[in-house]
Chain A
Amino acid sequence: MRLRGLIILIGLLLVNIQVFSQETVTPNDVHDERVHDYAFINAHLFVDYQTEIKNATLLIKEGKVIQMGANLTAPLDYILVDLKGKYIYPSLIDLHTHYGLPKAALAKSRGFTGAEQMLTKTPGAYNANEAIKSDFDASEVFNNNEKTATIFRKIGFGSVLSFRADGIARGTSTFTTLGDNPNKNILIQNAAAHYSLNKGTSKQYYPGSTMGYISLLRQTYLDAAWYGQFNPRPFLDQSLEAWIAGQNLPQFFDAGGWINVLRADKVGDEFDIQYVIKSGGDTYKRIEEIKATGATLIAPINFPEAYDVDDPIDALSVSLADMKHWELAPSNLARLEAAGINFAITSDGLTKKSNFLNQMRKAIDHGLSESTALKALTHTPAKLIQIDDQLGSLRPDMLANFIITSGKLFDEKTIIYENWVQGKAYRFQSLSTEDYQGKYTLTLDNKDYQMTITGAAGSEKAQLILNDSVTHEIKSALTATLAAFSFPLNKKTIRLSGWRTDSGWKGTGQLADGKWIQWNSTRTSDLDPKQEKKKLTTPPTDALGPVIFPFVAFGNETHPQQHTLLIKNTTVWTNETMGILEDTDVLLKEGKISEIGKNLQDPSALVIDGRGKHLTSGIIDEHSHIGGGGNDRATNSSMVRIGDQLNSEDINIYRALAGGVTAVQVLHGSANPVGGQSALIKLRWGVAPDDLKIKNADGYIKFALGENVKRSRNPSSTRFPQTRMGVEQVYMDGFTQALAYDKVWSVYDELPKKSKINIHQPRRDLVDEAMMEIINKERFITCHSYVQSEINMLMKVAEQFNFNINTFTHILEGYKVADKMKAHGAGASTFSDWWNYKWEVRYAIPYNACYHVH
């Protein structure tokens, strides 16, 4: 009965094969279909990352696993492969490759010179922004590449996800095994949709910063949702079509360093998408925040090379942060594992892929467990790409993608003999089960010599032992059938050639003088037991230096804590109506000023003697670019948000603190009439980027006037506006559009629920929304300004739309229109003494601030 069952099973499989092979091809020969059925016996089999079977048999047939197990008898028609002492692993999977795709042209750095390309130049019905390349389909241009495939196979990989690294939205990838027939190898034509914070080859001017990339992503999600409502579509945008189609696939984000991992995850959160995130090797720097993303990572193992610090002066050019990263990077994966973060491992970023296993071993030496390492290279990637029913383990019906190794994969001396891709073998080393190791007697020319052979077959080493202290290397070439030795004896080379015997070898040889001799060699005993190299026993991360926050010079090992503080007998600058108080105490509790007075007491307080010192509320800088400032490039960039790109690791935060500055407004730059939304932060040295933000702070936005927004320093500039007249029109247009937008939405919002079902929701536009917030007095303007005419102009524009300009910043000619500013209700934040660096600032005077006060 059982036998019958088996026959039926095999019958079914044969039917399967008929379907599986490429029937559409007519051979240029007689038909020569051969069945390749293999039985690998006596192997140490890793079924998956956590299941081992010793003395296992693995049956494969036509590229698939038939069965595996310990007590399995190989059917007679299977070709037997004896793997005594050898290991089988599911082959590895790399989810971050560009395998088989044409190289994307390298993006050149684009500065602020030359004519700006404001609109897309992509020919055809594609997205309005060149950086949205969601229409790219890797499978359309994919072709197998034997040279690259060989490199991957040699380090144990059997399949890869291949995407093109170009654009903010990069289109879809294809998932393929590393065989030589794309028709057969591509397992998932459109495997995943890819995104990044790098515009790639797009030459379009916007976006040009991390916050711009995020803004473009955000707007594209909204555009796709709006566009997708229509049937038929209002117009054709093939990028949006592909974007919409791609949403059902796994979503992969190529983020990079840990800050970008957090940024990418936040974008996903806004749209209920959990990306799989390709990280840098630095996630250990903020492991808690990384874990909180809930993202599965694709982590690299390209650890930095050691710096040459032998010369103490040269060593000064290596920063503490870089030194610490060099030290801690190999422990990154161990720390991810310890934190319970799920991750796959990629070989991406290695200068030499052949170094892959060595790097893995380094990670394991630094505490990564071998099973997690294997999981991250098999199970996890298979699962992420939803192909774990075919790959990642070796079970019946799964693909015969596996590697045969000499020992445990991550052991130092392990070599990979063969890499089987869909049942086809790629062989790197002879599988010969020969083991030549041992002591031998070598007899030649009627004399006996002692010889030892050490090391695994294929890389064995032979030595001639003349006495305790004199040995000679013997060059050897041994196969299962033949042998060749050559070595010097009394400064003359002896060369031997021979064949295998039961106990060793024998054959003929030639002495240096040309005389032919007979020789033989007989195994006498095993090698003397060798002492195993001692492995590290202490958890290596304990022996490493601490992670510091932020990860830069002057970072702290622990986060600073709030204390109850009593500052005694000091001069207090209240900056309130009380003025300056001499010889006064100040009590701080739970982060607030609790009391100001004389002879204050608090037993729980840490007392600071303030005699001879001054105490003031922290300095606040209205206009700063530390901790994440930057510039995007659209004429109206109201949708970009500095808060999207805060950088907690900026050394200037520390330096500003050292000068008494405790809070700043991080502003967008001044390259556009409407810049981005600012972030109000406290200089909390050491916290994560989002924790810098002042909670519930009002929204602010940067505007700018004059030479910068006209691109005056770029003689080739073509961007609108080129005059102050045009600058005004940018504002008039921006606010007019915003009002129109607001009207459309108000009409829609007021519709009864029932009618909404039958009507398309209006498009959300983040530029209009930010402009509308200004009109609604929910967002306040800080405007970079110099010349009186433009200052006056902007106040008039604001008045037309019934709001006020909150702050004119720089405002170097503000003294000329201080009366008008006062009447309008604008504030001023001025340079104390900058002038004559631009034509528009030649009338700047250091008396400006005093005029504004008056």
Chain B
Amino acid sequence: MKKIINLSLGIWMTFSVIAQVPVPASSQNQPILLVGGVAHIGNGEVIQNSLIGFDKGKITLVNESSNNVTDSSGFKVIDITGKHVYPGFILPNSQIGLQEVSSIRAMSDMDERGEMNPNVRSVISYNTDSEFIPTFRFNGILVAETTPVGGRISGTSSVMEMEGWNWEDAAHTVDIGIHMNWPSKMNRKFDYNTYTAKMEPNKKYDGSIASLKELFKDALAYGTKLNPSVNLKLAALQGLFNGNLILFIHAGTSKEIIESVLFTKEIGVQKMVLISGSALLNIVGFLREHDIGVIIPPTHSMPSRVDEDVYGPYKLPSQLFEAGLTVSLSHRGMLAHGRNLPFFAGTAAAYGLDKEEALKMITSNTAKLLGIDDRLGTLMIGKDATLFVSEGDALDFRTNILSHAFISGKQVTLNNKQQELYQRFSKKYGHID
């Protein structure tokens, strides 16, 4: 008990000492025109000398500045000559806002107990005061899918803006999909007798699939009942059958991917996206045939097998692109590192992918796979004015230096606690660069 009191006191004291996260911006109150920047549209196109205008949170103008006489009156004009403008980067399959300090149980709200939790919803747990959020914006990530984890069905995810007074404020698209963790077919076992690894069938595999099947069949039947007694879990699954929700399938090996996709088709789910890694490479034909988009792990990962090409993770995006798949890049592991998403794309570009294609993997492709491409992912008229300006190439560590970022037209603060601490101690040592 004493420990708990100490801990909560600690948290309180901390927040009283350091600054809060930056104050959320107010909504766009005047049209803004970005003039002269290199516009990376997010669909593969680049406009060298661009005009990007937006008003009331929506993009109203995308053009070349040289061959167009645009009336800039009424616009607040921002000259970004020599700089680059990008659609806001989108981080899929993240636990942003659900978890703060991972080592502390009290600070984690991402993994509900139980196996089948389609009814738990990440949106209501999204903490707009998370200290991570401003640091993600700092690198150009302006939107994220915040996603529950664990169990067989982890829960329902939502697309969130990286800014807001509260979760209702920050919600971009509520309840976009349900995340399912497909079981492993085989277990790896080390045999100390012969010093070799052995693959053994997972005895629980069939049982796990049977219980998934039962759940989905029950949900289908539930949907056809006229006056069912309410079942929160079955109700939460209904959107999968009418295309309102996407089923995100987390599957490890090639065979698990095939079985999970065929399973998903069989039970009548309308939309699905795969979340998997290098195992995708062996079955690209299958994935093309079924027209399934994929969300893949960060390029800054270790190869998944000892025998795999050391640069395998760097090459995976380009290999899957060559195979004709719609690919989106994501992050795994330490939450803080999610902010490196742009650089995952940068590495993909260094290993065989055209840079604008790499950009698509963190913008338009991701928007498409999350079902939000009507509003996000490219710099196009009518879409959300969620975009940012960088001094240089935003996919490069050295030149990803943001000067302006807008989320639905609101100009958001880029500096955060880290810059404040930098300035604070610069005062101590008497230098600031």
Contact = CB atoms under 8 A, between A and B. Distances in A.
A280 interface: yes
Contacts of A280: 194-195
B425 A851 contact: yes
Contacts of B193: 300, 302, 349, 351
A327 to B, nearest CB: 11
Contact of A325 (B132, B186, B195, B336): B195
Interface stretch (B28-36, B49-57, B96-104, B158-166): B96-104
A815 B306 CA distance: 38
A521 to B, nearest CB: 50
Interface stretch (A265-273, A429-437, A841-849): A841-849
A845 B103 contact: no
B21 to A, nearest CB: 13
Contacts of A281: 194-195
A838 B186 contact: no
A694 interface: no
Interface string A285-324: 0000000000000001011100000000110111111100
Interface stretch (A29-37, A365-373, A650-658, A733-741): A650-658
A40 B281 CA distance: 69
A837 B195 contact: no
Interface in A796-840: 815-816, 818-819, 833-839
Interface in A614-657: 651-652, 654-655
B255 interface: yes
A300 B195 CA distance: 12
Given A655-B302, A845-B422, A854-B431, A316 B195 contact: no
A45 B38 CA distance: 93
A838 B103 contact: yes
B210 interface: no
Given A845-B422, A846-B418, A834 B334 contact: yes
A382 interface: no
Interface string A256-280: 1100000000000000000000001
A839 B11 CA distance: 10
B73 interface: no
Contact of A313 (B254, B302, B336, B421): B254
A59 to B, nearest CB: 42
Interface string A652-669: 101100100000000000
A313 B255 contact: yes
Contacts, number: 115
Interface string B304-335: 01110011000000000000000000000011
B151 to A, nearest CB: 21
Give the size range of B's interface with the partner: 35 or more
B310 A325 contact: no
B310 A712 contact: no
A581 interface: no
A313 B422 CA distance: 51
A314 B279 CA distance: 11
B429 A851 contact: yes
A554 B192 CA distance: 23
A613 interface: no
Contact of A317 (B194, B199, B336, B433): B199
B310 A658 contact: yes
A836 B101 contact: yes
B282 interface: yes
B418 A316 contact: no
Interface string B392-433: 000000000000000000000000001001100100110101
Contacts of B352: none
Contacts of B14: 842
A547 to B, nearest CB: 15
Given A317-B188, A655-B302, A325 B196 contact: yes
A713 interface: yes
A816 B428 CA distance: 9
Given A651-B306, A816-B425, A713 B103 contact: yes
A552 B194 contact: no
B303 interface: yes
A282 interface: yes
A712 B103 contact: yes
B196 A326 contact: yes
A317 B252 CA distance: 12
Chain B CB within 10 Å, residue with most, of A651, A654, A818, A837: A837
Interface string B112-156: 000000000000000000011000000000000000000000000
Given A318-B199, A707-B103, A713-B103, A845 B429 contact: no
Interface string A444-475: 00000000000000000000000000000000
Given A837-B103, A845-B421, A655 B303 contact: yes
Contacts of A652: 302
B251 to A, nearest CB: 13
A376 interface: no
Nearest to A320: B307
A654 B334 contact: no
A836 B429 contact: no
A314 B186 CA distance: 10
A494 interface: no
Nearest to A650: B306
Contacts of A839: 10, 101, 103-104
A329 B195 CA distance: 10
Contacts of A850: 433
B9 interface: no
Given A836-B131, A845-B421, A313 B282 contact: yes
A837 B194 contact: no
A340 to B, nearest CB: 24
A732 interface: no
A854 B199 CA distance: 53
A304 B306 contact: no
A834 B336 contact: yes
Contact of A837 (B102, B307, B425): B102
Interface string B348-369: 0000000000000000000000
B194 A303 contact: yes
A242 interface: no
Interface in B161-198: 186, 188, 191-197
Interface in B43-65: none
A588 interface: no
B418 A845 contact: yes
A854 B429 contact: yes
B255 A282 contact: no
Nearest to B340: A833
Contacts of B191: 304
Contacts of B270: none
A322 B131 contact: no
Contacts of A325: 194-196
Contacts of B100: 836
B253 interface: yes
A53 interface: no
Contacts of A843: 18, 421
A384 interface: no
B238 to A, nearest CB: 35
Interface in A675-734: 707, 712-713
Contact of A842 (B131, B302, B311, B431): B131
A553 interface: yes
A837 B337 CA distance: 10
A442 B428 CA distance: 112
Given A313-B253, A325-B194, 16 more contacts: A256-B192, A280-B194, A300-B193, A316-B307, A318-B199, A322-B197, A326-B196, A554-B310, A713-B103, A819-B428, A837-B336, A838-B103, A846-B418, A847-B418, A847-B422, A850-B433
Question: Which 3 pairs from chain A and chain B are nearest by CB?
Answer: A553-B307, A349-B193, A304-B194
22 contacts: A280-B195, A281-B194, A300-B193, A314-B199, A314-B255, A316-B254, A316-B282, A319-B305, A349-B194, A552-B306, A553-B307, A655-B310, A819-B429, A835-B336, A836-B101, A836-B102, A837-B103, A838-B104, A839-B101, A842-B101, A847-B418, A854-B429
